Structure 1
Amino acid sequence: MIPIPLKPPYRFIAFDVETANRNAHSICQVGLACVDDWGQIDTFSLLVDPDEAFSAFNTELHGIDAATVRGQPQFPAVIAAIAPLMAQQPIVQHSSFDQRAVAAACGWHGLDVPALHWVDSVTIARRAWPEFKGNGGHGLGHLKTALSLQFQHHDAGEDARAAAQVVLCAEEKTGRSFVEILAKQGAKSPRVFHSAATYYEPFE
């Protein structure tokens, strides 16, 4: 089992992947940014051997190539190590690509897709900063400048931390938890996510 140097419980975990090529299943790096009840962020990343070719375009983006991942674990071992932690609280992604990549990689390797509760920080950002629509947008590139975030784009650990920071900044700006920001009037609450000190009702 791959050792994961993290200390739950956490309020939420931001998650990001990088891929070797245009195939969503070709995950070559995963990053987790784990946020506790006091806003502290524990960041962890793992290189993944996708066992397929890297495209020049992707390598130029993230700097990872076949030599970088040589000898690193493949996706089945990585998801087995991180899924139990990820299942304990909401998983924040900036757009839906990371969820699709995990599902695609599970399908490619004949694995069941973990039952995770995904949250989109793009939606959170849109509700916290509606003025960015048509004025830079809500991608991490613009949010980095607009919110004075410090991170290295296209590194899974760094992008996960950035997504976590977006959520924390949105909570600070609105005075509401990310669950409240996303809540829909009349939404049902079949599950409750909790951590050491705070309880959060889920949303749809």
Structure 2
Amino acid sequence: MRVSSYRFFALDVETACSDVASICQIGIACVKSDDMIQTWSTYVNPRTHFSPFNSRLHGIGPAHVTDAPDFAEAIALVEPLLARHHIIQHSNFDRRAIHGAHALIGRKAPPWTWGDSVRIARRAWPEFIGNGGHGLAHLKRRLKLTFVHHDAGEDARAAAEVVLHAEKRTGQTFEAMLFSAGQVR
């Protein structure tokens, strides 16, 4: 995999329970320089309980993660690559989860450059404010995206597609939309 061939990554996580650090799945969408998207996902053993609510939401339970790597092992696979690119999340949840999971293993979260596809969507489709909003479920319908909601790999891909659609609609790069909207690096 050539590092220079990626423009940005979109990242999504699913959690086992209400503890934001209880990551049980990580998904990454890798957006290549030609805007093609490759996805990668893995289950993660959160080493904690699963709440019935979360399991109903995403369909992941203890049996799915029995032989999965824990967070430290899973993040080690992708951390070097993520450190060199913008990382897009859809809302602030994923960043908080990554920071929480790092704290849980006694490590400081890496100083990645985060961006939010919700902010990008608000710039591209201001008419959705008060008219369905900028959540993935609404954007799925309005932009005719095809994905399985609450699967980390699929949601990461959807966030990446939102960014690409927004770039086409506005004629601006995702960086221009993020940083003109006051996004913090």
TM-score, normalised with respect to structure 1: 0.87
Superposition pairs of residues 27-176 of structure 1, within 5 angstroms: 27-176=23-172
Q: Which has the higher helix share?
A: 2
Using the alignment, how far apart are the partners of 2:184 and 2:65 within structure 1? 38
Identical columns (%)? 53
Using the alignment, how far apart are the partners of 1:91 and 1:182 within structure 2? 12
- Aligned residue for 2:68, secondary structure, equals coil
**8 Å contact kept, 2:25–2:43:** yes
**8 Å contact kept, 1:184–1:203:** no
Does 2:176 correspond to 1:180? yes
Using the alignment, how far apart are the partners of 2:149 and 2:67 within structure 1? 25
- Could you list the runs of 5+ residues in structure 1 that have no partner in the other structure? 1-5, 188-201
User: How big is the shift at 1:36?
Assistant: 1.1
Structure 1 residue ranges, 4+ long, deviating more than 3 angstroms after superposition: none
Which residue in the other structure is 1:8 paired with? 3
The amino acid of 1:161's aligned partner reads: R
CA RMSD of aligned residues (A): 1.5
1:175/1:19 CA distance change after superposition, 3 Å: same
Count of residues in correspondence between the two structures:
184
**8 Å contact kept, 2:7–2:32:** yes
**8 Å contact kept, 1:179–1:203:** no
The amino acid of 2:177's aligned partner reads: I
